[in-house]
Chains A and B, each alone.
Chain A
């Protein structure tokens, strides 16, 4: 059983659950207090994460999974760069001590433009980090304010320049559809991002989750609810501007200059690889077994201190679920989904969606279901029609 997995790369996600401030739209598992009880504080976090790596390795081996190398690593959050650079580097080093990094491995970290310096970026690069993804969100001050972001937009080109000088690949994250944001604002932001000379960009439509500060503002009528047509206009604008700059979409919300510059870590998720999820609330996947950690850093810490994996719960993905996930994930990427992966009962829908202009006609003729731009905007509708 483990042969198949030995030759495959492992991906590792490390969740750093701390932020300087919580943004109004954020529903991630993150904490702004630096001192959390029960050993869950920021300062003690790296040692817990490393302990979890040790236990995870042992758990894999006990189950007959023995990975040869780590293909991608991703420090996400939260704000990983709130931790001193040497701690991120130390965690990476610990991981490499357990499983070697593949040659040319992609090691990314998320960062806030104002949580990095020229020095810290250099330190990260020296320590083996290869890629940094900045949460730029917007270049327009009023939009940043609505989002509750504290950075100065002029800080972004500066941070990008430092990162590039340090030899890091850089990606910028944008959010469009913030209440009050105009099409012109979106244009300003995308152009500002592209002007930094990045080779990778992600753009997400703002989703106001139920338990966020923004959702409360919306309910009180202080913000206007996002309009799906407006969102669609903005998405198309992002895509137009990115394309004009030479970036190509490779996933619904991601653009890269060349295939080599796509995020391999994220592609690993979408292609159903195995990955570790280190840190509070992180998700892990191993051969159809999904598990996820307890969310609170204190509980996370105390469980690890007892020598146990801090797993909250797990599920075994059935073959039926797996099929659904394949359709759901692969259809969102540029390679699309092989037509023979689509169950026979829903296969006729492929033609319907080609006629409606949601699937690329040439690709379909060649045996793959690939979304058109119109189709990308309706991806969930297409997916629903294709899952059995």
Chain B
């Protein structure tokens, strides 16, 4: 395919001097594996910004983890030239994070665009998270271009899904474009369509500069690279800039656009998208959603929509080998440079030793961080069951925020509130009954139900976040044979009858196993956990009672009988070396045990006991 214009011939669409009517800013809303990256690659190729040889498959997803899991966490922007009816245009494609935990980041990416391509796999139909992002885009008044992808697949049902998304977006099924990112079919038409149907930006060129940060990435060599969308005015390479949320001043070291490699430019004009580098080393100094203005003749009013990312899910991370604690600390410090939402504090657990209490945006965020710690920093970690943030009001009116079940206050509690979510579940209609049953058992309240098509239903529930982070998604998947997809958004809180259940080994509480649960579920939690521990903890030289307790009241108990035999019966001349080596090996193994009182618990037992809810997030809620 030959590009319509060579990237360097487009003199009339140079950065900082392209009129707004020649600009189009868009993003792609898609579920993972619906082919967003492949389509983006094809666009880069067709517009000529990346030649075939330099084409790395899925150019935009840079991190290995993202590529492996097929998800995009960090968005970037690419400027592409495109010609329609003899006029040159500059298109900015903004890559959005595709995940439920990153709703805020998604909303900022959307705010940087005038339009969105809604990309749906023609063999699978729309998924809950895509729907959620679509609603978000519509709330932001974005123009939506509905597109079916993978029309070349044998299993594609373009008619069926065109009707489904046409109904969602409010267009006729025949207005839904059809492309194949893989073969390139329909992609040129799509680009033409972007130019023809998306509005151009309408910022004030003469107003003081206001640019919104929609992404911020730490780079080892260059420090933080900040991606911005200029709304009003101009940002020039010699400007000093201010971050409006903090009032911090920064020198601009570099400003430019990516296409997709960074190119320095003299500035960025209204409606344009680009990057800047100031030399800061921590993404916290360049926060997503913040407004940048010039230090001299700067704007006085920031753009709307800025929020500080707030952790919703907490988990304790502990190195299996206690001597790895400093490695874990350094690793978290490094990851934090690139993740403004990550926060942590040292935590000491009697059971697990030294570690960190880490706050995450959600379960996926947790999983990504954990995996990066293990992979990039070679750490073996135990993570405690994820817990949410509870607001506890004591009898005397004192309010306590509880991030960790082991910090649950001892005294008289007046009330406890827990965070709630608004959840959207898309499911084939045959599973409505089982999904409702599940939501009921998870203390959910049905808010509404709509048929997307004849056989697909959207169910809306309010559900406690704690239930979602427990094992909701796994159960939802198993009850719907993998067909259900889930999206949720934090929404308010409710007072609930919650209690803390402690697990005791030989009357010693094991902090890592404490949990805050609804009173009605305390008993079953206790019984299940006690049974699990009985299976996982090897017999000791003495009897070990396992108890589950609410305060001083025992609600469940099990007993690990004392081990009676631990001796090799033969030890003669030829056995001595072997036996000594075996003993040393056993002794080594013993060092890897954690001591709860005098009970030796193998690490594996903690891992297994804590992995009941291994927190699989809606990352693969696709049809099988």
Residues on A lying within 8 angstroms of B by beta carbon are: 13, 203-205, 207, 228-229, 231-232, 235, 252-253, 266, 269-270, 275, 277, 281-283, 285, 290, 292, 315, 317, 321, 324-325, 328-329, 332, 356, 358, 374, 376-381, 383-384, 387
Give A352's nearest chain B residue, CB to CB. Answer: B598
Residue contact A235 to B565, C-beta cutoff 8 Å: yes
A252, B576: Cβ atoms closer than 8 Å: no
Q: Which of A207, A282, A328 contacts B580 (CB 8 A)?
A: A328
Q: Within the complex, what minimum Cβ distance (angstroms) separates A171 from chain B?
A: 14
Contact B586 A384 (CB under 8 A): yes
Find A283's partner among B563, B565, B570, B573 (CB 8 Å cutoff): B573
For A252, the chain B residues whose CB sits under 8 A away are 567, 569, 571
- B583 in complex: contacting residue of A13, A253, A384, CB < 8 Å: A384
B residues near A332, Cβ cutoff 8 Å: 571
A329 contacts B567, CB within 8 Å?
no
B539-570 CB contact bits vs A (8 Å, 1 = yes)?
Answer: 00110000000000000000001011111111
Closest to B572 in A: A269
Q: In the complex, which residue of chain A has the Cβ closest to the Cβ of B590?
A: A384
The answer to whether B565 touches A321 (Cβ under 8 A) is no
Known A-B contacts A205-B569, A282-B574, A376-B567; the reply to A321 vs B580 at CB < 8 A is: yes
Chain B residues, CB < 8 A from A358:
541
Across the interface, do A378 and B542 meet the contact criterion of CB distance under 8 Å?
Answer: no
List residues of chain B with CB within 8 A of the CB of A232: 564-565
Which residues of B566-620 are within 8 A (CB) of A? 566-574, 576-577, 579-580, 583-584, 586-587, 590
Provide the bound-state CA to CA distance between A281 and B423, in Å: 70
Provide the residues of chain B in CB contact with A204, threshold 8 Å: 569-570
Contacts of B561 in A (CB 8 A): 229
User: CA–CA, A266 to B574, complex, Å?
Assistant: 11
Contact present for A379 and B564 (CB under 8 Å): no
Docked Cα-Cα span, A292 to B577, in Å, equals 11
Given A252-B569, A384-B586, A378-B574 contact (CB < 8 Å):
no
Contact assessment for B584 and A324 in the assembled complex, using a CB-CB cutoff below 8 Å = yes
CB nearest to A232 among chain B residues: B564
Interface pair B563/A228, CB less than 8 Å apart:
yes
Task: For the A-B complex with A207-B569, A380-B567, A383-B583 known, give 13 more contacts whose Cβ atoms are closer than 8 Å.
Answer: A13-B573, A228-B566, A282-B574, A285-B573, A321-B580, A324-B584, A328-B576, A356-B541, A356-B542, A358-B541, A377-B564, A379-B567, A387-B583
The answer for the CA separation of A325 and B584 in the assembled complex, in Å, is: 11
Give the interface SS of chain B, mostly helix, strand, loop or mixed: loop
A292 to chain B, nearest CB (A): 7
Q: Name B579's closest neighbour in chain A (CB-CB).
A: A328
Bound CA–CA A282/B574 (angstroms):
7
Pairwise interchain contact B565-A387, C-beta atoms closer than 8 A: no
From A231, A253, A325, contact of B576 by CB (8 A): A325
Contact of B566 with A377 in the complex, beta carbons under 8 Å:
yes
Q: Contact at B564–A229, with CB atoms within 8 Å?
A: yes
Residues of B within 8 A of A266 (CB): 572
Q: How close is A81's CB to chain B, nearest CB, in angstroms?
A: 19
Residues of A close to B579: CB separation below 8 A: 328
Known A324-B584, A384-B583; judge A228-B569 contact (CB<8 A).
no
Q: Which chain A residues border B573 with CB–CB below 8 Å?
A: 13, 269, 275, 277, 283, 285
B584: chain A residues within 8 A (beta carbon) = 324
- Kindly report which residue of chain A lies nearest to residue B539, judged by CB atoms: A228
Do the beta carbons of A290 and B565 come within 8 Å of each other? no
Q: Is the CB of B577 within 8 A of A315?
A: yes
> A254 to chain B: closest CB distance in Å?
10
Q: How far is the CA of A282 from the CA of B586 in the complex (A)?
A: 26
| Across the A-B interface, the 3 shortest Cβ-Cβ residue pairs | A232-B564, A283-B574, A379-B567
**Interfacial chain A residues near B542, Cβ < 8 Å:** 356
User: Smallest distance from the beta carbon of B566 to chain A beta carbons, Å?
Assistant: 4
Q: A356 to B590, alpha carbons, bound, how many Å? A: 19
Measured between beta carbons, the chain B residues less than 8 angstroms from A374 are: 564
B574, A281: Cβ atoms under 8 Å?
Answer: yes
Nearest opposing residue in chain A for B564, CB measure: A232
Determine the distance from Cα of A316 to Cα of B574 in the docked complex, in whole angstroms: 15
List of A residues within 8 angstroms of B576 by Cβ = 269, 283, 285, 290, 325, 328-329
Point out the residue from B565, B572, B587 that lies within 8 Å of A228, measured CB to CB: B565
State in angstroms the CA–CA spacing of A277 and B576 once bound together: 13
Judging by beta carbons under 8 Å apart, are B564 and A228 in contact?
yes
A270 to B590, alpha carbons, bound, how many Å?
25
Which of A292, A324, A329, A377 interacts with B571 by CB under 8 Å?
A: A329
Query: Please, which residues of chain A bring their CB within 8 A of the CB of B572?
Result: 266, 269
Closest partner residue, chain B, to A273 (CB atom): B573
Q: Across the interface, which residues of B come within 8 angstroms of A207, CB to CB?
A: 568-570
Measured in the bound complex, the distance between the Cα atoms of B137 and A327 in whole Å is 73
A378 to B562, CA, bound (A): 11
Which of B561, B567, B570, B576 lies at the interface centre, i.e. has the most chain A CB atoms within 10 A of its CB?
A: B567
Q: A320 → chain B, closest Cβ, in Å?
A: 10
Let me know if B570 and A231 touch, CB within 8 A: no
Q: How many angstroms from the CA of A358 to the CA of B571 in the assembled complex?
A: 20
**Separation of A356 and B579 alpha carbons in the complex (Å):** 25
Set of chain B residues within 8 Å of A282, measured between Cβ atoms: 574
Cα A204 to Cα B570 with chains together (Å): 7
Given contacts A269-B573, A283-B573, A283-B574, contact A378 B567 (CB under 8 A): yes
Could you say which residues of chain A place their CB within 8 Å of the CB of B587? 384, 387
* Candidate in B561, B565, B571, B580 with the most chain A CB atoms within 10 angstroms: B565
Residues of chain A within 8 A (CB-CB) of B580 are 321, 324-325, 328
In whole angstroms, how far apart are the Cα atoms of A377 and B565 in the complex? 5
Tell me the minimal C-beta distance from A296 to chain B in angstroms: 16
